[in-house]
Amino acid sequence: MGKYIFKSNRISYKEIGKDDFDIFFEIYSNKDIMKYSLKDACISKEEAEKEFHNNFQIDSQHFIAFLEWTQTPIGIVWYYQIASQKEGGIVEIHYSLKTEFWRKWFGTEMGKALIKFIFSTTKNHKIIWTCNIENVASSKILQKLGMIQEWISRKWRFKDGRWVDEIQYWLLKEEWVTSCRSRNLWDSTLRNQSIKKISNDGS
């Protein structure tokens, strides 16, 4: 098992290691999880093993997401480098989540944690995320994360015997920092208002 790297409210994230194939195969062989993915679900362990080991050959980072209180693996998040210069860089991020954890805000939490990790620990100045235009749930998550639609590419993915469009979203580091500061100021204001209200009620 890879070493612990970062965590969010309910989830801890560890680097995926070469002994984590079973978790990888469980996710990437699931047709429901892979429905909107660029790649199809792996139909055999041999195919999955090839894909799994390819991940260690490219300029990418993969992390397994575990429930903090049970250490149950619930999904995988990852990013890979698209462009890199002295002044900054661009990465693309993705996540895969087990179906039993859908619609419970885990996808949003995983995306938020990965964005924070990238902008806080790397020199990258821009994050992009591309998704199947029919994947409405993921598009909603990206919008919750503050990502902005940049373009729509027609007939980008070939899935289920037909070409489908793809949407790309983006987020700049400086806009993320501004958003974080705004949220912290708003949270601080709410806390102060609550304290004042409690004080007044108790007087």
Asked whether the CA dihedral 187, 180, 3, 73 is positive or negative, the reply is: positive
CB 113 within 8 A of CB 13: yes
* Per-residue CA distances from 96 to 72, 99, 108 (Å): 15, 9, 12
Domain ranges of the chain: 4-194
The CATH classification number of 4-194 equals: 3.40.630.30
- Residues 126, 86, 5: CA angle, nearest 5 degrees: 60
From first to last of its 203 residues, what are the pLDDT tens digits of the chain? 556 789 999 999 999 988 889 989 999 999 999 898 878 888 888 888 888 887 766 678 999 999 999 999 999 999 999 999 888 999 999 999 999 999 999 999 999 999 999 999 999 999 999 999 999 999 999 999 999 999 999 998 888 888 999 999 999 999 999 988 877 654 544 444 443 443 444 44
